[in-house]
Amino acid sequence: MTPTLAELLASIELPDSDSARLDAELLLCHVIGKPRTYLRTWPERRPDADQLRQFEQLLSQRRSGVPVAYLLGEQGFWSLQLQVSQSTLIPRPDTERLVEVALELGPQAAASVLDLGTGTGAIALALAVERPYWQLTGVDRVAEAVVLARGNAERLQIGNASFVCSDWFSALAGQRFDLIVSNPPYIAADDPHLQQGDVRFEPGSALVSGADGLDDIRGLVQLAPDYLQPGGWLLFEHGWQQADDVALLLAERGFEQIESWRDLGGQQRVTGGLWRG
């Protein structure tokens, strides 16, 4: 006889996780196809042998460090539940600050908005939901990410967002946008955090950007004015110690009204500037 749901959860240890109980509950609910409330309502229920085997396999992967989002194949972001894969970064709560700033600064009318390095489509789709009169374009150079983002848009029935395979601006010749946002790679190549936690399993190309983590942002700052409408904002998510450097890059390129915004943890997380044209 298999153990009850309550017995299973009581016996589990996930020492590498800061939220071991939650991880275990999410994995168990995924296997039995029930919401987390089911665990409280029916703790005496028993998974069948096949479900128990699947659960133990997922636990083994989690113990090795594989992120829960990859094991579940989905992650919540903003008001959306997004499918994820190991071809993209896992959307994180800090990135919601970029969405908030974009909503605050973006046009309050029909507009064309670009999300550079879209990954799962998280930023583009969140903006599309909140501003149905905007047309969002998300680009990523990884074809698998573009397919994933398109699938998220279709599944969520978001019609004002499209996704294109493009190495930054390479497929966007002749186009201009009223707002450009990006969560680009911004981690230095020798950063020890790359060997810790979930990022060990995420694609390095979406994390690392040169010796100081700013190579991609440098390039985007130089190119963005050719794709911005006059009066358009360019907004970046960046590392918590990079705000001054990003602001300087924007100023040197001729952007104005440069400002940085803090995330929920109080760290400067988003920096942007206005392009007068």
Q: Do 90 and 222 share a domain, yes or no?
A: yes
Q: Do 93 and 52 share a domain, yes or no?
A: no
Q: Do 34 and 100 share a domain, yes or no?
A: no
Please, which pLDDT band fits residue 9 given cuts at 50, 70 and 90? confident
Q: Do 169 and 37 share a domain, yes or no?
A: no
Q: How many domains does the chain divide into?
A: 2
Q: Do 116 and 146 share a domain, yes or no?
A: yes
Q: Give domain status of residue 73, yes or no.
A: no
| Whether the predicted pLDDT of 73 surpasses 60 | yes
- CA-only gyration radius of the chain, Å: 21
Q: Give domain status of residue 126, yes or no.
A: yes
Q: Give domain status of residue 157, yes or no.
A: yes
Domain residues for 112?
Answer: 79-275
pLDDT for position 172: 97
Per residue in 138-188, pLDDT (tens digit) is: 999 999 999 999 999 999 999 999 999 999 999 999 999 999 999 998 776
The CATH number covering residue 117 comes to 3.40.50.150
Is the pTM higher than 0.85? The answer reads: yes
Residue listed under structure tokens 């992650």: 75
Q: Do 35 and 122 share a domain, yes or no?
A: no
Query: Phi-psi bin for 121: left (phi > 0), alpha (psi -120 to 50), beta?
Result: left
* Strands of 228-237's sheet in order across: 161-165, 134-140, 111-116, 177-182, 228-237, 268-275, 256-262
Q: Give domain status of residue 24, yes or no.
A: yes
Assess contact for 152 and 82: CB atoms under 8 A: yes
pLDDT for position 65: 83
Q: Of 40, 65, 90, at which residue does a domain stop?
A: 65
